[in-house]
Chain A
Amino acid sequence: MEKKSIRIGCGSGYAEDRIEPAVELAEKGDLDYLCFDSLAERTLSMAQMRKLNDPNTGYDVRLDELAYTFLPYVDKGLKIIGNMGAANPKAAIKRVKEIAEELNLTNIRLAAITGDDVMENIKETDPTILETGEPLSQLPGTIVSANAYVGADAIVEALDNGANFIIGGRLADPSLFLGPMIHEFEWAEDDWDRKGKGIIMGHVLECGTHVTGGNFADPPYRVVPNLHRLGLPYAVVDESGDGVVKILEDAGGLMTTETCKGQLVYEVHDPANYITPDGIADLRNVTVKQVGEDEVLVENGSGKGRPEQLKVLVGVLEGYIGEGEMSFAGPGAYERAKLSQETLEKRFERLYKNNSLEIRYDIIGVNSIHGSAAPEPSEPPYDVRLRSAMRTESKEIAEEWAHEVELLYLLGGAGAGGNRRNVKQVLAMYSTFIDYDDVQLKVDMI
């Protein structure tokens, strides 16, 4: 008898990913599941802030487009799982229901997963913040969100109940992919090795085009065909938890052992302990093997029990960043940019020092990215851009500092041009932990 396998695709690698390759996967991938990761660290806090203004919002701003585009595929048998509920999965699912009715689709079974919002709980328990070592209540600024990274259990429950469009909040990225595996293959709760493999497969898929040639090209060493239409990945996973990752035949990009290795190391710390809400995966012995053109077998992962606590991400409003940029070009450009930086430094000392939390200067084209590790240029650069950014508690001071960079039109080196400025509110993210059993997830079938 042939081993049972399922086909799982990644519909989105981050909150503002392109929709078109996900449509191609839905159209041509013969997929059983299409999973969408829509949340980065800050996305959820911003969604919480939208919800504070209007309790009917707080979900992924792309929700309408996703629903209109993919509901017809769900009606024909595709199952969709995503964390696009963000701060408000119930409002999201209500909106998807309206769209399904508008499209006259009758085969849609919706589920909302809630319970990851642990704001009330942690305000009561006042846990220690990892970054500061102090209790939550000691954080300066306004706390706007606290969401626990939650796992696949509720996804499995929703699938067991027949849901085919499942929306949650802070579902951990690999869990979106693990849920269908546990549901389809009926893995035992303590089958940690297979869950570990499933988590690793989820990790390979979760960042979308990161495994198909995105963030990879560096000619002539690394060459990627058709970057302008990179395809999203999908995997054929069997009941052992191992699987083959692929791209569609006519998709741009590539699937090689090299692109897979690049994703396997991405945002992993200790490979023996890749911690997710569903279990701790061990990536040390994972192997990748090219088994066809754009087809890579991922195997030999393992795992161990799940962690006793879940990570909670706390969003805190704490001040503002004001920044500005100004360009210099032609002979002497670098010297004129440095002279302008000195001018700014002196104005900072005289007028802003006491109101600033942090100040930074960069010369774009020389040292703005690798900072002190960047070598001094061997030739004077022809075209450089001075940038300064200040973090401060006051919005007005941030705005004034951004304006100071504009003033370089008159105060700085000659030929200053192309000023841009920007002021933004700082939404800082802190982390803490909550006991696994203190997070009660709820599945609402609609």
Chain B
Amino acid sequence: MKKIPLREIAYSRSGDKGDTANIGVVPFDETDYELIKEQVTIEKVRELFGELVKGSITRYEFEGIKAINFVMENALSGGVSRSLNLDTHGKSWSNLILRLEVEVP
């Protein structure tokens, strides 16, 4: 087994609804879906994002397209209209999650 960044095997897209962010993670190769489901867990994501996410994190699965989706509450400093963040939408969060390390055969 070797450790590689998630970016090597998956891509991601993030967006906002009010103060809630969502980050979808999609493997390039559908055969990596099970591995990603096993290793890209809520715990790991919470550890990586730390205090950026103040509320709950939920993970959903898209079995058809083989993708997972994280929904993070109270995560955008109040949402696009009042947040002092430069990236008020959390568009760049997709690139943060791709830093997670995964173990591959």
Contacts and interface: CB of A to CB of B under 8 A. Distances in A.
Given A258-B28, A369-B87, A372-B51, A391 B65 contact: no
A372 B17 contact: no
B104 interface: no
Contacts of A390: 84
A131 B24 contact: no
A219 B78 CA distance: 32
A368 B87 CA distance: 9
B63 A284 contact: yes
Interface string B68-105: 01010000001111101111000111011000000000
A368 B11 contact: no
A431 interface: yes
Given A283-B62, A369-B87, A261 B50 contact: no
A389 B84 contact: yes
A131 B19 contact: yes
Nearest to A321: B84
A230 to B, nearest CB: 16
A300 interface: yes
Given A286-B65, A369-B92, A267 B17 contact: yes
A264 interface: yes
Interface string B22-56: 10101010000000000000000000111110000
A442 to B, nearest CB: 28
Contacts of A138: none
Given A284-B62, A284-B63, A262 B82 contact: no
Contact of A258 (B15, B17, B26, B85): B26
A49 interface: no
- The prevalent SS among residues of B at the interface is mixed
B86 A368 contact: yes
B50 A131 contact: no
B104 to A, nearest CB: 15
Contact of A428 (B24, B28, B51, B81): B81
A373 interface: yes
A190 to B, nearest CB: 24
A215 B93 CA distance: 12
Contacts of B79: 428-429
B52 A372 contact: yes
Given A265-B24, A269-B58, A368-B86, 5 more contacts: A221-B28, A261-B24, A321-B82, A360-B84, A369-B92
16 contacts: A41-B80, A257-B65, A262-B26, A263-B13, A264-B62, A265-B24, A269-B69, A270-B60, A271-B60, A284-B62, A287-B65, A300-B64, A368-B86, A428-B79, A429-B80, A431-B18
The 6 closest A-B pairs by CB, nearest first: A265-B24, A267-B15, A360-B84, A389-B84, A285-B64, A286-B64
Interface of B: 7-8, 11, 13, 15-20, 22, 24, 26, 28, 48-52, 58, 60-65, 67, 69, 71, 78-82, 84-87, 91-93, 95-96
Interface of A: 41-42, 130-131, 215-216, 218, 221-222, 257-258, 260-272, 283-288, 300, 318, 321, 323, 358-360, 362, 364, 368-373, 387, 389-391, 426-429, 431
